[in-house]
Amino acid sequence: MTHVNALINRRRRSVIVVVLFLATVLLVTAGAVLIGPTLRSPDQLAADAAPPQPLPVTAVVERRKLVEPVVLRGRVEPGASVRLLTPAAAVGPQSVVTKVLVRTGDRAREGQVLIERSGEPLFALALPFPLYRDLTIGARGPDVVEVQRAMRRMGYPVPGSGVLDRATQRQLAAFYRDRGYRVGSGAAAERGGDETADDLGAAPPTGGVQLPQSAVVVIDRTGRRISKVHVRVGQTLADPKESLLELDGQAPTIVTTAAVDQAALIRPGQQVDVTDDVTGTRTKATVRAVGEQAVTGPDGQTGIEVRFEFTQTALSEATNRSVRLDVRTAAAVEVIAVPVSAIYSRPDGSTFVTVVPEKGAVADVAVMTGQTAGGWVELREPVPSPIAPGTAVMVGEQTAGG
């Protein structure tokens, strides 16, 4: 019995040992499964610590015109116009404007009464020079010749004698009468009044002034548009240098002096963005003319004179003020170009781009660069293969997931 019990105890111990061994194996296996993925060799740890492989950032080669804005400062100048000045003989403390018979937009016609001063008419006559005297009976000279020519243009049959004779005198009287005035009287006579035909000049006076120097405002030709009227009723005409009217007034223009290298990029017809820094107003203009010789501008700068004309609202309020000009210049022809960031340099000064094909390895391709504008650079001909419009080139790098 004792022997049997001993045998049973030995078997129990063997079973326990086997169970403990199997449990240990299971624990070790489970630990290896759980902990194994976190265990790395030194080489693996070093590889894991290295930065991720960068990926190329690409742009596409294009055929394009290179546009480079040229920024300038320009001065707004008043537009050209024809100024009609007060005749010197009509200036004085007693010369008061009593009527203004024209307004902006009218056409100045030869023979027209523009204004009245102290009741006397100021006529527009197309003469090559102002009258330099009062024309009286018997006067002769080039001034009489020009007045006779003007009378004939207006339909009054006067001789071309160069003498203020009786025939010319009668036609001058008719000229005054047709406009409601008496010749040489110095006083206005409105049509429809109580004056007799003799008072209105039907019969010419036998002497005295027939056409006062103070009655004629010289215009260069008939039909010019009146763009501005400077006088008003009640104003005293005290300065012969002041304008009565302006004819054919043009819009303001802009002029600047550009550096020679800037002027080389500017061509007539190019579009311009204009900014008045004082008011913040923006408008458009176009290049009208580019000079050929260097000049010194009013600001003391030496360069090429460039003139602009407004294509949108003119900055009339900015006359004689500086404005900003952004000229949109462009190459005459399209070129093959890449972004500036696609160009890389070698120590020897040569340049290359890195081509990134859809398939295959990237490749550095040597290129020659040309003009640069707007962040793009020209690739000069012959452009090496495989570079062509649409080719992807590297402009930078980024990390995966960056």
Residue 15 forms part of a structural domain: no
Residue 193 forms part of a structural domain: yes
Residue 233, pLDDT above cutoff 90: yes
165 in the same domain as 268 = no
Residue 7 forms part of a structural domain: no
188 in the same domain as 99 = yes
Coil/strand/helix, residue 44: helix
Query: 258-267, 302-311, 314-323 — which one is most confidently predicted on average?
Result: 302-311
Residue 189 forms part of a structural domain: yes
User: How does pLDDT run across 319-352, given as a tens digit for each residue?
Assistant: 888 999 999 876 667 889 999 999 999 998 899 9
Mean pLDDT of 47-75: 80
262 in the same domain as 228 = no
283 in the same domain as 374 = no
Task: Note the pLDDT of residue 239.
Answer: 92
Burial of 374 (0-12, 13-18, 19+ CB in 10 A): middle
206 in the same domain as 129 = yes
Q: Which residue has the higher pLDDT, 206 or 262?
A: 262
Residue 8 forms part of a structural domain: no
Q: Strand order of the sheet with strand 62-64?
A: 62-64, 335-339, 376-379, 369-373
Task: Note the pLDDT of residue 188.
Answer: 43
CA 243 → CA 88, 228, 240, distances in Å?
12, 10, 8
Q: Give this prediction's pTM.
A: 0.52
243 in the same domain as 110 = yes
Task: Note the pLDDT of residue 234.
Answer: 96
The single-letter code of the amino acid at 394 is M
Mean pLDDT of 306-316: 92
Domain containing 225 equals 82-247
CATH number, domain containing residue 382: 2.40.420.20
Lowest mean pLDDT among 51-55, 205-209, 368-372, 391-395: 205-209
Based on its alpha-carbon atoms, the radius of gyration of the chain, rounded to whole angstroms, reads 47
Residue 192, pLDDT above cutoff 60: no
218 in the same domain as 344 = no
367 in the same domain as 306 = no
76 in the same domain as 61 = no
What's the CA gap between 10 and 85, in Å, rounded? 142
Give how many domains the chain has, as a whole number: 3
Lowest mean pLDDT among 96-105, 175-184, 196-205: 196-205
Residue 106 forms part of a structural domain: yes
Mean pLDDT of 167-194: 74
User: How does pLDDT run across 137-159, given as a tens digit for each residue?
Assistant: 999 999 999 999 999 999 999 99
Residue 272, pLDDT above cutoff 90: yes
Q: For all residues of the chain together, what is the average pLDDT?
A: 83
Share of the chain above pLDDT 90, in %: 55
CA 136 → CA 184, 203, 213, distances in Å?
9, 16, 10
341 in the same domain as 277 = no
End-of-domain residue from the set 330, 357, 391: 330
Residue 26 forms part of a structural domain: no
Residue 122, pLDDT above cutoff 80: yes
End-of-domain residue from the set 280, 296, 330: 330
Task: Note the pLDDT of residue 209.
Answer: 77
98 in the same domain as 220 = yes
Split at pLDDT 50, 70, 90, the class of 297 is: confident
End-of-domain residue from the set 204, 232, 247: 247
- What is the Cα 243 distance to its own chain's centre? 30
Which H or E element spans position 61? none
Residue 37 forms part of a structural domain: no
Task: Note the pLDDT of residue 23.
Answer: 61
375 in the same domain as 288 = no
- The phi, psi pair for 298, rounded to 5°, reads -60, -25
